[in-house]
Chains A and B, each alone.
Chain A
């Protein structure tokens, strides 16, 4: 029964991980921008939701504010940091450092405004219900999985059938060819940032109610996103999704054997194993460099 309980918790965590990681993977896969501030997008969305909710404007307005905040942050960062850098040289390193710096700024500004401790979004949805003898599941678990399922179906449909979705996939294959076809890579990049940032929002909101928020959690979010992207295979959205779910499950099931402070170690061990044994990931196209 404990294993079943942990599997469901793991699926809940995994669904949130997958949402966050796919956002990063989509941006990185299509634009090759190492968007380390993705973790910052996460905390911005989470704290906006928390703030609007605590101020008494309700969850729907909170979700709208969080989405708007995430999109605006992603687009501004792309426009005023990544585009100018790419104009000059745009090496991996330069973009990573700039993105990283912005992440530090966001973390500390949020820490100054909301305090550095943990805050939680209070909602009756996080109370667990006994659905079987000894098996407690909160409605949030189902909501997470449902959110992930809906988001991924929409994303799949979008990437597969819409014009912009095709352009995104084309951009990840060959940016030069996209330009030759008369499409504007910069506009497509902005689109990738919008979608990638939106995908973070449900995960950010739900995390606020389940595990609580803290300004420094951006690094954890980033570790998970990076791990899932690499384990799934860079450039593969489906691979990242699977890897995100698997990492959530693995962290949760590991509790059968180790104490909870070691869960991040499990993520790290999986990541490490993949880097050494299979750098191209589950569904990746080519190996590293």
Chain B
């Protein structure tokens, strides 16, 4: 039971990092990305590559993974600079599809569809963390640090510029804000922090394959943010906890077919997304009628 709770706690904190970083671009900059799992994957693969071939110290794996995520996010930022809304959804969906192909084909780095096994444990300043009871401190710590960083950013003048862009791009430009630059920076920061979750995930499971970084994951993360509350501080975490607890709740309900837990979970959050949008677009944490979510 304790091991089970620890495992759940670690996964919730990793997915919270993903939710919080997606919320940063979605809720504050109005960039709706369906490619968040790509940066999760890039972080995981880059970190694993460093850990397996060079050095497992987080002072090596984290910076490399973050740099890889940040660099790749420039590809995503490129269309985001020119367009928004529907165009960006299409571009990110395309990137997600493309990335899955690359993850499964670039066998020398990603191990192909079979994935990579035997990923070394996290090395924090010479101390190897592999017990779940220790690992949870690392993931929760990372979540707190990332929350702090994003909180600082959101409440700085940069964050105010972001919200200005989300609410009216032309108004922000008229106020002399460099809209493309601000958008690029926000995407780069978000992707770099997402890569951290990838490194933690890979070293926790000591096994990764492309299945974890498919469109389904991007959708799951988006659902966490939306159900929790877009553009709120705690929303993504509430959403992550809720959606990850869902499978275990379903398994307690004996009348549901146990082999279909994955499907039932997806049906519940799909319905949840639709109903929330009709009755409470701000999400669980958000206000009832939110007037400030990216109205165009």
Instruction: Show the binding face of A for B, using Cβ within 8 Å.
Output: 28, 34, 36, 81, 84-85, 88-89, 91-105, 107-109, 111-112, 219-220, 222-223, 226-227, 230, 234, 261-262, 264-265, 267-268, 271-272, 275-276, 279, 288-289
* 7 pairs, CB–CB < 8 Å, chain A vs chain B: A91-B295, A92-B85, A95-B277, A219-B215, A223-B90, A275-B87, A276-B79
Q: Are B278 and A101 in contact (CB under 8 A)?
A: no
Q: Which of B199-219 contact A (CB under 8 A)?
A: 215, 219
- Known pairs A81-B274, A85-B281, A94-B281; list 17 more (Cβ under 8 Å): A34-B89, A36-B89, A89-B291, A95-B277, A96-B32, A97-B276, A97-B277, A100-B273, A101-B273, A102-B270, A264-B101, A265-B98, A268-B98, A271-B90, A279-B87, A288-B82, A289-B84
Contact of A275 among B83, B226, B274 (CB under 8 A): B83
Q: Check A108/B79 contact, CB under 8 A, given A84-B278, A271-B90, A289-B169.
A: no
Q: Are A108 and B87 in contact (CB under 8 A)?
A: no
Q: Are B277 and A268 in contact (CB under 8 A)?
A: no
Closest to A263 in B: B101
Closest to B278 in A: A84
Q: Are B274 and A272 in contact (CB under 8 A)?
A: no
Chain A residues near B86: list those with CB within 8 A: 28, 34, 92, 96, 226, 230, 234
Inter-chain CA distance A54–B23, complex, in Å, is 45
Q: Are B296 and A101 in contact (CB under 8 A)?
A: no
Q: Check A111/B94 contact, CB under 8 A, given A89-B281, A92-B86, A101-B273.
A: no
**Bitwise interface map of B from 259 to 282 toward A, beta carbon under 8 Å scored 1, else 0:** 010011011011111101110010
Contact of B83 among A96, A107, A288 (CB under 8 A): A288
Q: Check A108/B263 contact, CB under 8 A, given A34-B86, A100-B273, A288-B83.
A: yes
Instruction: Show the binding face of B for A, using Cβ within 8 Å.
Output: 30, 32, 78-79, 82-87, 89-91, 93-95, 97-98, 101, 104-105, 169, 215, 219, 222-223, 226, 260, 263-264, 266-267, 269-274, 276-278, 281, 289, 291, 293-296
Q: Which of A88, A108, A222, A276 has the most CB of B within 10 A?
A: A108
Inter-chain CA distance A5–B55, complex, in Å, is 51
Inter-chain CA distance A203–B93, complex, in Å, is 22
Closest 3 CB pairs of A and B: A101-B273, A104-B270, A268-B94
B110 CB to closest chain A CB, in angstroms? 14
B29 CB to closest chain A CB, in angstroms? 12
Q: Check A223/B93 contact, CB under 8 A, given A98-B273, A288-B84.
A: yes
Q: Check A112/B87 contact, CB under 8 A, given A101-B270, A279-B82.
A: no
Inter-chain CA distance A85–B263, complex, in Å, is 26
Q: Are A94 and B277 in contact (CB under 8 A)?
A: yes
Contact of A219 among B93, B104, B264 (CB under 8 A): B93
Inter-chain CA distance A105–B269, complex, in Å, is 8
Closest to B78 in A: A276
Q: Are B270 and A108 in contact (CB under 8 A)?
A: yes
Contact of A289 among B78, B226, B296 (CB under 8 A): B296
Inter-chain CA distance A108–B219, complex, in Å, is 13
Q: Check A226/B266 contact, CB under 8 A, given A94-B277, A97-B273, A272-B79.
A: no
Chain B residues near A101: list those with CB within 8 A: 223, 269-274, 277
Q: How many A-B residue pairs have CB under 8 A?
A: 149
Q: Are B84 and A91 in contact (CB under 8 A)?
A: no
Q: Are B266 and A222 in contact (CB under 8 A)?
A: no
B129 CB to closest chain A CB, in angstroms? 35
Chain A residues near B97: list those with CB within 8 A: 219-220, 223, 264-265, 268
B184 CB to closest chain A CB, in angstroms? 14
Chain B residues near A272: list those with CB within 8 A: 79, 91, 94
Closest to B219 in A: A104
Chain B residues near A99: list those with CB within 8 A: 274
Q: Are B267 and A89 in contact (CB under 8 A)?
A: no
Chain A residues near B226: list those with CB within 8 A: 97
B137 CB to closest chain A CB, in angstroms? 34
Chain A residues near B289: list those with CB within 8 A: 88
Inter-chain CA distance A223–B277, complex, in Å, is 23
Chain B residues near A96: list those with CB within 8 A: 32, 86, 89
Chain A residues near B273: list those with CB within 8 A: 97-98, 100-101, 104
Q: Which of B86, B101, B289, B291 has the most CB of A within 10 A?
A: B86
Inter-chain CA distance A36–B222, complex, in Å, is 15
Inter-chain CA distance A275–B89, complex, in Å, is 12
Inter-chain CA distance A167–B89, complex, in Å, is 29
Contact of A226 among B78, B93, B105 (CB under 8 A): B93
Q: Are B101 and A108 in contact (CB under 8 A)?
A: no
